[in-house]
Structure 1
Amino acid sequence: MSASTKSTSQWDSPPVYDVDIYSDEVIADPYPHYQRIRDAGAAVWLPANGLWAIGRHADVRACLADHETFRSGNGVSGNEAANRMAPGNLLASDPPLHDHLRRIVAAPLSPRGLNDVKGRIEATAEDLVDRLVRRGTFDGMMDLAQYLPVSIVSELVGMPEHGRENMLRWASAVFDMLGGANKRGEDALPVVMEMRAYTVNEATRDKVRPDGWVSMLYEAADKGLIRPEQVQMLMRDYLGPSLDTTIFATGHLLYLLGTNPEQWQMIRDDPSLIPNAINEAVRVESPIRGFTRYLADDKVVGDTLIPKGSRALMLYASANRDERRWEKPETFDVKRVLTDHVGFGHGIHSCAGMQLARLEIRSILTSMVKRVKRVEVGVPVLAMNNVLRGYERLPVRFVAD
């Protein structure tokens, strides 16, 4: 039934969940809150944030696929200050601009584009796992999860050394800005402005690697494919898919393998399960909790009318644990049939860097299968971030075969 045919009185009492979705409490233990949001309704009003929350799997996928109604060009943050800063980049744009920019930015991130670096990533993963097996105990985040993104991918992006040293800090701040209007977001602003100043003043054409991804943006500007002033904006689009999301997904997978040793044994017995294990880890512990969309028109989601001009938070991490879609959704099962999780998003804004993330993590797991009999993990320390879910530290021990 359309909004025009349903009486106004029937929209007067939408489901409400009165909790700050970006608070420390929710970030530290989000899944009970996501459960309550899913149970409350298909679309739930969050008065503390001024957002609608979409938490059920089928609804999140449907809304993400409807990019004409649920628009990204007005920004995808949970706070309007960040949304005013963002429009025009790959994440915060709509077709036809989005499609044009994605063809340019995503070119080196495609399977064809990654062919040139696949061998190097695999060889580096082999050396890394060898060292960590000999070492025994290490920090799974700093020593393993961060290694490939920081040592190789940041070089592929091609920024000068100062930028490479700060990419993790800058990327984390960007994701804090993409969350709610809280102190984390406020504290992130000067860090984000530092990154922007760097891209304008230091990541200039004469200082970036001539064969790097940023250099390709300058070449695209030479060809008239993008405006010169778009180069600095688009180079920032390499931070998220290149770094934090991959790092946190790797950390989650390490922890899940350590706490589910029978699953690691299944992978060792049948390495063809590696790609599915990566997807299952991203489903169980989505590195990105969710982004918002701006409604270009009234939209009925479930039994609730979301008015035009509203902002809806697409909770990927909730959708991926929706018991309406998944049997025992909190369970990590490397043999689970996975076709439609939203850990990498869905629709035209699906993660541009997901093939790179899969390549990096697959290379690590392939190397581990040959050398690591058992993965032992300690208690992880959660990184507090408005949008990202991942660990700051994770004690790990590789028991050699």
Structure 2
Amino acid sequence: MTEALERALVPPVSDADPFAHDVLLDPEPLHQALREAGPVVYLSRYDVRALARYEQVHAALVNWQHFESGSGVGLANFRYEETWRPPSLLLEADPPLHDAPRRVLREILAPPALRRLRESWHALAEELVDQVLDGGREFDGFTALAEAFPLRAFPDAVGLGPDGRENLLPYGNMAFNSFGPRNYLVAADADRVAGLSAWVNAQCAREALGEDGFGARIWAAADRGELTYEQAPLVVRSLLTAGVDTTVHGLAACLYALATHPAEWQRLRDRPESVRVAFDEAVRWQSPVQTFFRTATADITMAGTVVPEGTKILMFLGAANRDPARWRDPDRFDLTRDPSGHVGFGMGIHQCVGQHVARLEAEALLTALARRVEHLELAGPPQRHPNNTLRSWTSLPLRVRPA
């Protein structure tokens, strides 16, 4: 092997910690540094290969044969390490194990089912916005809107009862933290793992679910033999884990984007049909899901660099979504942009099966808000919540001028 070729096969090395507190709160500087360093970067702190450019992230996401999810989508390698809960049949499985659960959920969450929800969700959003605005011109957009609407609309659709829904976000926070290293964020959740897990598992039982919701339809699929009875509660759990936090923080990202870009807020009000573009552009711009891991199933050459078999790769979805090689003026929130192709919902066979549910929730809430609010702005500094995987919020103070 020539010296030049040997150098080409060795990626640049970084000792940066993508899970450090300051990086979780402000990841863009590290994202830029990793993109500039190369298509594949070795993160020495965790012995993983990092992908921060759009081309390589997209390639890894769609290549499940060479970059598997079955060994875990977090830093832990399920080939060698015990899991704190049964792996997700959607996020942490590959074909053929992945096929039946995804096929069932894709049918349950298909457009006809969402059309049946559209009218009730729009009415619920109108009711919520009226209630919030009746309380005054300043409020916390995170708790009053971005959190409140999905915590009512989505569990209703799944068929959950009214009690205990306050556990959903802490459980999701814990689950997404677990994809990172066993750092202070994981330690902070340690005393709640058993209780939160027990509550969520109880909600996945057939008898705990309403007769007409998504959960009941998952169990009906087991009756038809499309799933096993052991798989059914795990699929319900996957729906609850992935369907709440990501939507909540996606809506918060959208409210933040529109509050800090008054021209785009006016554009949305002038063209209400652009509401779904606004949500996808916010997901691209802020990327509620920042990172996911995959594991190489063989020695794979990527951009001239060998990723050894069994190696974890860390895909920076947020960095890919701001890659200037893929996006014009990527740091700008822009409703004239076509954001399709962003990797905020993943890509390929593991692409978020519930993304259209999230878009419908965003459509309902933002349409109601645009109808009632002429001007939207920040009323104070937003507060971020560190999470090993999510770009999360705890507070988004807003000030509005009603229309």
Residues 106 and 240 of structure 1, relative CA distance in 2, 3 Å threshold: farther
**Shift in CA distance, 199/139, structure 1 to aligned 2, threshold 3 Å:** closer
Residue number in structure 2 paired with 1:34: 31
- Relative distance call for 1:7 and 1:72 in structure 2 (3 A) is farther
In 1, Cα distance between equivalents of 2:329 and 2:126:
34
1:132 alignment partner in structure 2: 132
CA distance in 1 between counterparts of 2:337 and 2:387 reads: 29
Residue 327 of structure 1: how far off its partner (Å): 1.9
Which residues of 2 match residues 59-74 of structure 1 at below 5 A? 59-74=56-71
The reply to whether residue 292 of structure 1 matches residue 289 of structure 2 is no
> Are residues 69 and 193 of structure 1, via their aligned partners in 2, closer, same or farther at CA, if it must alter by over 3 Å?
farther
1:322-356: per-residue Cα shift (whole Å, max 9, x none)? Answer: 01111221111110122311111111111111101
Partner of 1:47: 44
8 Å CA contact retained: 2:249, 2:391: yes
Instruction: Give, in whole Å, the separation in 1 of the partners of 2:125 and 2:201.
Output: 33
In structure 2, the residue matched to 1:112 is 112
1:363 and 2:364 aligned: yes
Once the 2 structures are TM-superposed, how far is the Cα of residue 8 of structure 1 from its aligned partner?
A: 7.2
For residues 7 and 177 of structure 2, the distance between their equivalents in structure 1, rounded to whole angstroms, comes to: 37
Larger deviation, residues 225-234 vs 6-15: 6-15
| Residues 1:271 and 2:272 aligned together | yes
Question: 1:194-234 CA distances to partner (integer Å, 9 max, x unpaired)?
Answer: 34323445643223212222222322222222222222322
Alignment coverage as a number of residue pairs: 398
Aligned to 1:87: 87
Q: How many Å apart are 1:82 and its aligned residue?
A: 7.0
Q: How far did residue 116 of structure 1 move? A: 1.6
Kept in 2, the 8 Å contact 1:82–1:177? The answer is no
* Paired AA for residue 380 in structure 1: P
Give, in whole Å, the separation in 2 of the partners of 1:323 and 1:37. Answer: 13
CA distance in 2, matches of 1:106, 1:71: 21
Structure 2 unaligned segments of length 5 or more: list them: none
1:341 alignment partner, SS class: coil
CA deviation digits over 1:110-169, x for unaligned, max 9?
Answer: 222212211110111112222223322111111000122111211222234444231111
**Which one of the candidate residues 379, 382, 386 is aligned to 1:380?**
382
Q: Does the 8 A contact of 2:201 with 2:237 survive in 1?
A: no
Distance (Å, rounded) in 1 between the aligned partners of 2:355 and 2:369? 21
Aligned pair in 2 of structure 1 residues 86, 25: CA closer, same or farther (>3 Å)? farther
Q: Give the residue type in structure 2 aligned to 1:93.
A: A
Report the more deviating stretch, 178-187 or 96-105: 178-187
Partners of 1:84 and 1:169 in 2: CA distance: 16
Between 97-106 and 191-200, the greater mean CA deviation after superposition: 191-200
Relative to structure 1, is the Cα distance of residues 200 and 151 closer, same or farther in structure 2, using a 3 angstrom cutoff?
A: closer
Q: SS in structure 1 opposite 2:367?
A: helix
Q: Which piece of structure 1 moves more, 354-363 or 123-132? A: 123-132
Distance in 1 (alpha carbons) for counterparts of 2:327 and 2:30:
18
The 3-state SS of whatever aligns with 2:13 is coil
Whole-Å Cα distance in 1 between the matches of residues 261 and 382 of structure 2?
A: 15
Residue of structure 2 in register with 1:75 after alignment: 72
SS of the aligned residue for 2:377 comes to strand
Cα distance in 1 for partners of 2:245, 2:343 equals: 17
- Residues 174 and 188 in structure 1, CA contact (< 8 A), matched pair in contact too: no
> Structure 1 residues 287 and 202, CA, compared in 2 at 3 Å: closer, same or farther?
closer
Structure 2 distance, partners of 1:6, 1:299, is: 20
Which residue in the other structure is 2:208 paired with? Answer: 207
Structure 1 match to 2:256: 255
Cα distance in 2 for partners of 1:319, 1:140 equals 27
Matches of 2:211 and 2:165, distance apart in 1: 15
CA distance in 1, matches of 2:107, 2:400: 36
Note the alpha carbon deviations across 1:243-297, whole angstroms, 9 max, x for none: 1111111111111111110111111222222221111111110000011001101
Determine the structure 2 residue equivalent to 1:308.
309
1:245–1:287 contact (8 Å) kept in structure 2: yes
Q: Which residue of 1 aligns with 2:284?
A: 283
Shift of the 379–65 alpha-carbon distance from structure 1 to 2, 3 Å rule, reads same
